[in-house]
Amino acid sequence: MAAAITVLGGGITGLSTAWYLAQRVPPTVAVRLIEGSSRLGGWMRTDQRHANGMQFIAERGPRTLRTGSSREASAVLELVDDLDLRSQVVTAPKHSAAARNRYIYYNGELNCMPSGLGSLITGLPPAVKCLPRGIWKDLSKAKNTPTDASDESIHDFISRRFGEEVDNNLASAVMHGIYAADTKALSARALLYPFWLADRTGKHGVIRGLRRVAKLSRARNAQFAVREAEEQLAVSRRRSANPEFWDAMDEASMYSFRDGIQTLSDGLANRLRSHANVEIITGQPATEARSGADNCAEIVLADGRVVRSQHVVNTLPLHRVRKLFEKSTSNALLDETPYASVAVVNVAFGKKDITPVDGFGYLIPRASAASSKALGTVFDSCTLPVQDGGAELSRLTVMLGGARFNELFGSPATASKDALEDAAVETLRGHLGLRSTPIDVDASIGEQCIPSYTVGYIDRLKAMHKWVQGQLGGRMSVVGAAYGGPAVPQCIIHARDLVHHHLNLDALDKPQNVTGLEEIISGFD
Ligand SMILES: Cc1cc2nc3c(=O)[nH]c(=O)nc-3n(C[C@H](O)[C@H](O)[C@H](O)COP(=O)(O)OP(=O)(O)OC[C@H]3O[C@@H](n4cnc5c(N)ncnc54)[C@H](O)[C@@H]3O)c2cc1C
């Protein structure tokens, strides 16, 4: 059999994995990407809308990418550079209102989050007043770490050290924004690891323990010093080749593309299609994964075809991975990870500057959840006005549902689009006082779109690592939103690390025994 490697899933993780593989595999190795639906990109999706003679974009999933000095932020920019998408990038500069102003809807009004020491002088808004009290509480309260459990919920952790208000007013809002999930279910160990560790290892609470954690993390990072130095050198070479692009990105706080974020997944798909040794199969969900003869892994497709390869990189959501291995034993990560469903309602008004405040948008904490069906609202036109293309309009996106989707709107599979659109318009009326009639309202439902890293996640991830080792004769790795962070840059860096640092692409005839989870897990030891 000719050498081949299969990538399951054509979302941003699968596309970037195939891209990095295509750059690195020997020319004799085929890279096959299998996507179940008819389109590539997964949750990365930009639609075109038309109203009042105007054409504009509506983001249905991710909308902006963060800049910064992290490895993952750099990895995405390098990808943008490689794909020659530099000229299509649009940015929110660091000094823009979108970069500085993020709000929390609390006590019936928008509370601007502090963005620096200046906020202490101008006074803290009501939602944030609990924060200095919480910090003082942690500094003055004796250690009260539970010794009988290896994890606890974010709500329990924050309430125990900083006071319940800090979670009810602030942390719950932030987690609604990232995970669309409730902090009473989410894992403190997985999502607030430095703080969780500071509490465990320090003698006097979280804040005093953070110094020790920073020391531990410097020691841990030392093992990656060579890799980081090489990566920085690669970026500085790119800087010399395209200084305008990299300088502009230094000034940016976040970015997307003129025609929307799908430019990135489309760019990857287009370049992959022209690669001699890449084959993309769409419209064919994988239905079974099994070990085959000749030391290969077999993926059975819906039409009965069997795709054989020496290694499989599986980027599917956990509930889909489970289905592929229905005939095998399972593990807790596959069986017990809930996914949040989110309705993304894109609303456009035929007027500029319609919001009462400028900023990125606002999030809704638990303290205000009783009076709201929304998780938060993004002010798209304020964040990236260039995407309006000079048209006289304001685009906003209301996110609804999350952990409460079924309770509020019924099953995501059958929820009424009209009810979601009405709820979004009602949210904008109630929260922002927007009384005029929108020119366009359109809801899309992301059923089971964001994995919830619930209490016990790290232990389940470790068990998943062992489980993956036992599948397909050591010929499968996993990567994607369910492992080590769902943000696009995290999906991309994990795909790149797998291909650049963990798989041995010159010895695919041997089982790789690389699960893709090694480095993520070791970060929690
Ligand atoms: C509403 C929303 C807003 C978000 N906002 C942001 C943001 O602003 N910034 C950010 O960084 N991140 C954001 N995220 C997170 C980020 O977009 C996702 O975590 C990321 O896109 C996941 O990519 P993926 O490739 O891992 O998974 P997916 O996008 O889920 O891709 C998996 C692919 O596998 C395919 N598939 C499923 N089953 C099979 C099968 N049996 N056989 C073959 N193929 C199959 C699917 O059709 C899909 O194309 C957001 C997510 C959502 C849902």
pLDDT digits (tens, 9 = 90+) for 188-241: 999 999 999 999 988 889 999 999 999 999 998 899 999 999 999 999 999 999
- Spell out a b/e string for 490-506, using b for 16 or more CB atoms within 10 Å of the CB, else e: bbbbbbbbbbbebbebe
Pocket test for ligand 1, best of 176, 288, 316 (most atoms within 8 A of CB): 316
DSSP secondary-structure letter at 3? -
Give 42's contacts (C-beta < 8 A, 6+ positions apart): 9, 10, 11, 12, 13, 14, 61, 265
What is the 143 CA–ligand 1 centroid distance (Å)? 40
Atom of ligand 1 nearest to the CA of 39: 49
- Between β-strands 306-309 and 476-478, what pairing exists: parallel, antiparallel or unpaired? unpaired
Q: Ligand 1 mean position to 14 CA, how many Å?
A: 10
Distance 101 CA to ligand 1 centre (A): 27
What spacing in Å lies between the alpha carbon of 22 and ligand 1's midpoint? 21
Q: Give the per-residue pLDDT at 215.
A: 93
Give the per-residue pLDDT at 443.
98
3-state SS assignment for residue 280 = strand
Q: Decide if pLDDT at 123 tops 90.
A: no
- The pLDDT of residue 175: 98
pLDDT category at 518 given cuts 50, 70, 90 is: very high
- Model confidence pLDDT, tens digit, residues 344-379: 999 999 999 999 999 999 999 999 998 899 999 999
Domain coordinates in residue numbering, the chain:
4-40+263-335+454-522, 46-70+89-99+338-451
> What average pLDDT score do residues 253-261 get?
98
Q: Whose CA is nearest to atom 52 of ligand 1?
A: 61
Which atom of ligand 1 sits closest to the CA of residue 44?
21
Atom 29, ligand 1: residue with shortest CA distance: 42
pLDDT band at 442 (very low <50, low <70, confident <90, very high): very high
| Mean pLDDT (whole number) for 443-468 | 97
Q: Could you please report the per-residue DSSP string of 367-418?
A: HHHTT-SEEEEE-HHHH-GGGGTT-S-EEEEEEEEETTHHHHHS-TTT--HH
Confidence of residue 117 (pLDDT cuts 50, 70, 90): low
Domains 4-40+263-335+454-522 and 46-70+89-99+338-451 share a fold: no
Q: How far apart are CA 267 and CA 40, in angstroms?
A: 11
Mean pLDDT, the chain, whole residue set: 96
CA of 449 to the centre of ligand 1 (A): 7
pLDDT of residue 320: 97
Residue 115 has pLDDT above 80, yes or no: no
Q: How far is the CA of 510 from the centre of ligand 1 (A)?
A: 31
Measure 309 CA to ligand 1 centroid, in angstroms: 24
Q: Which positions ≥6 away from 355 have C-beta within 8 Å?
A: 379, 382, 394, 396, 432, 434
Q: Is the pLDDT of residue 1 over 70?
A: no
Which atom of ligand 1 is nearest the CA belonging to 320? 38
**For residues 279-292, average pLDDT:** 97
Its sign, for the CA torsion 119, 120, 123, 129, is: positive
Average confidence (pLDDT) over 27-55: 97
- Which atom of ligand 1 is nearest to 488's Cα? 11
How many whole angstroms from 13 Cα to the centroid of ligand 1? Answer: 8
Model confidence over 466-504: pLDDT tens digits? 999 999 999 999 999 999 999 999 999 999 999 999 999
Q: Whose CA is nearest to atom 34 of ligand 1?
A: 9
Q: What is the pLDDT of residue 371?
A: 85
pLDDT at 294: 85
339, 451 contact by CB (below 8 A): yes
CA of 441 to the centre of ligand 1 (A): 23
Residue of the CA atom closest to atom 35 of ligand 1: 9
Q: Please tell me the pTM assigned to this model.
A: 0.97
Q: Is the pLDDT of residue 314 over 80?
A: yes
Percentage of the chain beyond pLDDT 90 is 93
Distance 488 CA to ligand 1 centre (A): 8
CATH superfamily of the domain spanning 4-40+263-335+454-522: FAD/NAD(P)-binding domain (3.50.50.60)
Mean pLDDT for 54-65 is 97
pLDDT over threshold 80, residue 463: yes
Residue 203 pLDDT? 86
What homologous superfamily does CATH list for 46-70+89-99+338-451? Protoporphyrinogen oxidase, mitochondrial; domain 2 (3.90.660.20)
Minimum-distance ligand 1 atom for the alpha carbon of 63: 8
* Residues having CB within 6 Å of any atom of ligand 1: 8-14, 34-37, 42-44, 61-65, 285-286, 315-317, 320, 342, 344, 446, 449-450, 480-481, 486-489, 491
